[in-house]
């Protein structure tokens, strides 16, 4: 008798991430999806409408990835893009001229750049508010708005926004909510289940986990928005290569293992920093002392691997710390197996200098990897005390 294929939807996420993406109709028995590099696909006749015609419109390897991403988020529709910011831009392309968009007062720098430097040319108006204060959210929604865009936790300051509460208030006004979920991944947080209309992932980060590809995704259960996003993906053309789709599917197989280790290490490091006299204002949602801890416990199944703190001795000390680590690599990005350290004010963060969104010059950001936690703590200790 032929073997029956199990319904992955009935299984735990730790099991599903291992098996998602496999083509159960493939008669070869291959355990991984093939890479389809073809740019174009032949059709039997003019009267046939094939599933795949031109790779920018659709590709079998990308379709396998999008199906896997949709399953992880509990979404009907998923669209893969060539980078996280391409996915952010795709959501922005849903907006019409004159639209007002409500954003958090701590937001990824290139999202800030997009909404303050590029979209105003299309008459898109950003309005930045502290979304941890629901009264401010309600006041912002009192005026017409086309979209609420939020991150939780935010990048870089690690504010935790109550997604369900914001979505409830926005829904009452008929305003869709989009959530950048890159800091949490669908392993620890699923915004669509919390009432969001759209969710964006920088798949470069935790979903891939190996710092070797660029990618992004937008997911939704809204059929009308999905139709528009498909057009944006096809006509805009910011699609990932089949090889990158394959690499991402490969990286996702270890998502559960990696996220648990990221969280374990980050919690240990956050506790170490809380007790160290050279560190202050430690932000990690898993800490009971974190201002967002209660909300994080409500909407997240875990707390991921991002930690920020401030150098007690100020900006010069923060700069010294980021230059003194040996295991933590001084690099941008996040979510990979390697531990990274960065200085948010420098580089991209400087784009917000002089605004209310300017990162603190004493802040240090950690993307905690999967190395031995004792080694990581020892590395931070010697950097703090150097």
Same domain, 192 and 84: yes
| CATH number, position 360 | 3.90.1150.10
What single-letter DSSP state applies at residue 54? B
Single residue among 221, 237, 252 that ends a domain in this structure = 252
Same domain, 194 and 88: yes
User: Which pLDDT belongs to residue 1?
Assistant: 58
Single residue among 224, 252, 280 that ends a domain in this structure = 252
Alpha-carbon span 292 to 290, nearest angstrom: 5
User: Is residue 3 domain-resident?
Assistant: no
Q: How many CB atoms lie within 10 A of CB 58?
A: 18
User: Which pLDDT belongs to residue 382?
Assistant: 98
Alpha-helical (H) ranges within the chain are 13-19, 60-73, 84-92, 109-113, 134-141, 163-172, 185-188, 223-236, 242-252, 255-274, 293-299, 315-324, 373-384
**What would the pLDDT profile of 26-44 be if each residue is shown by its tens digit?**
888 888 889 999 999 999 8
User: Is residue 1 domain-resident?
Assistant: no
**Given pLDDT bands bounded at 50, 70 and 90, which one contains residue 314?**
very high
Helix (H, G, I), strand (E, B) or coil at 281: strand
Same domain, 65 and 166: yes
User: Is residue 141 domain-resident?
Assistant: yes
* Overall average pLDDT of the 138-155 stretch: 98
Please state, in angstroms and as integers, the Cα–Cα distance from residue 313 to each residue in 70, 76, 285, 356, 366, following that order. Answer: 46, 50, 24, 22, 18
Alpha-carbon span 100 to 283, nearest angstrom: 31
Query: Nearest CA to 90 among 215, 174, 188, 268?
Result: 215
Sign of CA dihedral 44, 49, 51, 54: positive
**Given pLDDT bands bounded at 50, 70 and 90, which one contains residue 57?**
very high
Sort strands 340-342 and 363-367 into parallel, antiparallel or unpaired. antiparallel
Q: Considering its fold, how many domains does the chain have in total?
A: 2
Asked whether 270 and 112 are in contact (CB, 8 A), the reply is no
Same domain, 117 and 34: yes
| CATH number, position 37 | 3.40.640.10
List active site positions. Answer: 56, 108, 180, 205
Same domain, 244 and 261: no
Alpha-carbon span 272 to 369, nearest angstrom: 16
User: Is residue 71 domain-resident?
Assistant: yes
* Residue 239, domain extent: 8-252
Single residue among 206, 232, 252 that ends a domain in this structure = 252
Same domain, 98 and 232: yes
């Amino acid at each position: 008798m032929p073997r029956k294929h199990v319904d992955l939807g009935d299984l735990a996420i730790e099991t599903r991430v291992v098996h998602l993406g496999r083509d159960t109709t493939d008669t070869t028995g291959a355990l991984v999806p093939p890479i389809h590099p073809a740019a174009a696909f032949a059709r039997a006749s003019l009267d046939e409408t094939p599933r795949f015609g031109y790779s920018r419109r659709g590709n079998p390897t990308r379709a396998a990835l999008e199906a896997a991403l949709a399953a992880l988020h509990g979404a009907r529709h998923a669209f893969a893009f060539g980078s996280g910011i391409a996915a952010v831009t795709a959501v922005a392309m849903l907006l019409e001229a004159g639209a007002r968009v409500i954003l958090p007062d701590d937001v990824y720098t290139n999202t800030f750049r997009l909404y303050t430097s590029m979209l105003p040319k299309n008459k898109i108006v950003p309005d930045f508010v502290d979304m941890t204060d629901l009264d401010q959210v309600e006041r912002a929604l009192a005026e017409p708005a086309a979209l609420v865009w939020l991150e939780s936790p935010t990048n870089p300051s690690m504010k935790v926004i109550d997604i369900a509460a914001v979505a409830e208030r926005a829904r009452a006004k008929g305003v869709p909510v989009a959530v950048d979920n890159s800091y949490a991944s669908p392993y620890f947080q699923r915004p669509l289940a919390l009432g969001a209309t759209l969710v964006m992932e920088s798949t470069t980060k935790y979903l891939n986990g190996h710092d070797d590809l660029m990618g992004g995704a937008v997911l939704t259960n809204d059929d009308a928005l999905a139709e528009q996003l498909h057009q944006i993906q096809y006509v805009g053309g910011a699609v990932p290569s089949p090889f990158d789709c394959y690499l991402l599917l490969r990286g996702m197989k270890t998502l559960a293992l990696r996220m648990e280790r990221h969280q374990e290490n980050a919690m240990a490091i956050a506790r170490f920093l809380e007790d160290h006299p050279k560190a202050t204002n430690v932000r990690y949602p898993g800490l009971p002392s974190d201002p967002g801890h209660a909300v994080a416990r409500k909407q997240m199944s875990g707390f991921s691997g991002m930690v920020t703190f401030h150098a007690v001795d100020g900006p010069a000390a923060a700069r010294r710390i980021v230059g003194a680590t040996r295991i933590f690599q001084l690099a941008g990005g996040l979510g990979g197996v390697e531990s990274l350290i960065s200085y948010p004010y420098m580089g991209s963060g400087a784009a917000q200098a002089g605004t209310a969104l300017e990162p603190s010059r004493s802040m240090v950001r950690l993307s905690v990897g999967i190395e031995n936690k004792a080694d990581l703590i020892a590395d931070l200790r010697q950097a703090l005390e150097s």
